[in-house]
Amino acid sequence: MKVTEMIEKTGFKTVYLGEDREVAGVYCGDLLSWVMGKGQPEQAWITVQSHLNVIAVAVLREFSCIVLAEQAEFPEEVIERAKNEGLTLLYSDLPVYETAVRLYEAGV
């Protein structure tokens, strides 16, 4: 499934729509070193971290997008960095678990 189809199915708010990448799974995590070691390419990454380092980790792991959960917000500098990388940023007002369930129900 592509990122745009995932957005349609989940109803997550689009903060920035980058490249329409394939989404082949989901990774939930906030400890960046752990995410760097365990995340896999083409995953949608659910986190509550919203600083610049999440963009670097997402690019390094070749994630399809970042879904920011728990009503956290991306600072403008993070959005600008995502634009430079073509990385989609999404927003979910749901808790991490419910955000993951919504992705599962959407077929991710």
Q: How far is 48 from 46, CA to CA, in rounded Å?
A: 7
Domains of the chain: 3-105 (3.40.1390.20)
pLDDT of residue 23: 98
At residue 47, the 3 state secondary structure works out as strand
Q: How far, CA to CA in Å, does 16 sit from each of 23, 31, 37, 90, 97?
A: 16, 23, 26, 7, 23
Asked if 5 and 24 count as a contact pair (C-beta separation under 8 A), the reply is no
For residues 73-78, average pLDDT: 98
pLDDT-derived band of residue 74, with 50, 70 and 90 as boundaries?
very high
Mean pLDDT across the chain? 98
Instruction: State pLDDT tens for residues 58-69.
Output: 999 999 999 999
Measured on CA atoms in the order 37, 47, 88, 22, is the torsion positive or negative?
positive
